[in-house]
Structure 1
Amino acid sequence: MWITNEVNNYSGVKRYSEELIEGLKKEYNINIRKESYLGKKIGYYFWKYIILSFKVFIFKSNTTIVIPDESFLFLSIFSRSKNKIAIIHDVRKSQGKNLRESIKSFLMKINFFFVLRFEHIVCVSDFTKKSLISYLQNVNVNVNVNVSVVHNIIEPQLFSNDFDNLNISRDISEFFSDDEIFFLYLGSHESRKNTIELVKAFLENERKGMKGKLIICGTVIDFDNYNIVKELSKESSSILILGSVSDKDLNFLFYNSDFFINPSLFEGFGRTPVEAQAYGIPVVSTFNSALEEVLLPGSFIKINEPSDYNEIMKAVFNAVNISLEERHVYISLGRKNARRFSQKSGVDKFKEVLF
Structure 2
Amino acid sequence: MRLLTSKLPQTGTTIFTVMSALAADVGAINLSQGFPDYEIDPHLIELVSQAMKNGHNQYAPMAGLISLREQIGYKTEKLYGAIYNPETEITITAGGTQAIFTAISSIIHPNDEVIIFEPAYDCYAPAIKLMGGVVKSLELAPPDYRIAWDMVRKLISNRTKMIILNSPHNPTATILTKSDVDELSALVKDQDIYILSDEVYEHLVFDGQKHESMARYPELQQRSFIVASFGKLCHATGWKIGYCLAPAHLMQEFRKIHQFVVFSVNTPMQYAIAEYLKNEQVYLGLPAFFQQKRDHFRDGIEQTRFKLLSCHGSYFQSVCYNDITDEKDTDFAIRLAKEFGVATIPTSAFFNKGTDNHILRFCFAKRQETLDKAVDRLIKV
Using structure 1 for the length normalisation, give the TM-score. Answer: 0.35
Name the structure with the higher helix share. Answer: 1
**TM-score, normalised with respect to structure 2:** 0.33
